[in-house]
Amino acid sequence: MRARRPLKPSKSPAATRSILSRLEAQHPGATTELHFTNAYELLVATILSAQCTDARVNQVTPAVFRRYPDARSLAAAELGELERLVQPTGFFRAKSRSLVGMATEVVERQGGEIPPRMEDLIELPGVGRKTANVVLGHALGVPGLPVDRHVLRVANRIGIARSDDPEVVEAQLCGALPRERWTRASDTLILHGRRICKPKPRCDQCAARPSCDHWKREWGSGPRAAGGSKRR
């Protein structure tokens, strides 16, 4: 059976660029909230951030980085000791195994350095496209557009993407934006999803509202808008 082609986003590439510009103006300086000083540290922090807040990860990583300052030391970690350090981030056994597995591969296959290529990063244990894109974009100077649940929700609501598959949404957004805008676009959509376009959106505070498909469907025309009593 032939795979179904993803539907096209309702917005043109030019409209997508314009909407992103408005959201970037609303969230100036959007960037990852994880603390790091190099690609190794950001990779460790991003693996720990699965199902955990960035703030919680930032409380844990200083001790992790002190104890394991590079991939070689992490590859040699005693699992129980590492588990105790990362325990507050949740799923600590699986995360510890991923961290040691990732570090071992980095040492054995990449000479101890975090590789600056998507193809190599996603081969590492515990590293998917989202994590790889975070590290590429923020620590290795290679544009990447991580798609997390916030990007998925916000982009689909506005109409600048149309799919529940993160890889399809990544391709749609990357296709509409120049490479140099990818990383900031993701950071902006994540922040917008955390602050404004939450599961219950605060549309009255949103810079994308005039162009948003979700808002138009819910509030832009028709009897609800005419009634005007429902607030968001």
Residue 54 catalytic? no
Footprint of ligand SF4 on 61-100 (CB under 6 A): none
Phi-psi region at 111: left, alpha or beta (left = phi > 0; alpha = psi -120 to 50)? left
Residue of 11, 95, 130, 187 marked catalytic: 130
Binding-site member from 9, 143, 166, 201 for ligand SF4 (CB under 6 A): 201
Residue of 120, 148, 213, 216 marked catalytic: 148
Closest CA to 68 of 56, 58, 81: 81
Rounded to whole angstroms, the Cα distance separating 70 from 82 reads 14
Between the alpha carbon of residue 37 and those of residues 31, 40, 70, 220, the distances in Å are: 14, 8, 12, 45
Q: How far is the CB of 27 from ligand SF4 (least distance, A)?
A: 12
Footprint of ligand SF4 on 142-181 (CB under 6 A): 154, 157-158
Rounded to whole angstroms, the Cα distance separating 126 from 99 reads 7
- Annotate 98-114 with b (16+ C-beta within 10 A) or e (fewer): bbbebbbbbbeebeeeb
> What are the counts of helices (DSSP H) followed by strands (DSSP E) for the chain?
13, 0
- Binding piece for ligand SF4, criterion CB under 6 A, among 84-92, 119-127, 182-190, 207-215: 207-215
Residue 130 catalytic? yes
Binding-site member from 27, 95, 150, 209 for ligand SF4 (CB under 6 A): 209
CB 157 within 8 A of CB 203: no
Binding-site member from 129, 150, 184, 214 for ligand SF4 (CB under 6 A): 214
Q: How far is the CB of 42 from ligand SF4 (least distance, A)?
A: 28
- Binding piece for ligand SF4, criterion CB under 6 A, among 99-107, 108-116, 181-189, 211-219: 211-219
Judged by the rule CB under 6 A, the positions of this chain that interact with ligand SF4 are 154, 157-158, 196-197, 201-203, 206, 208-209, 212, 214-215
Which amino acids are annotated catalytic?
130, 148
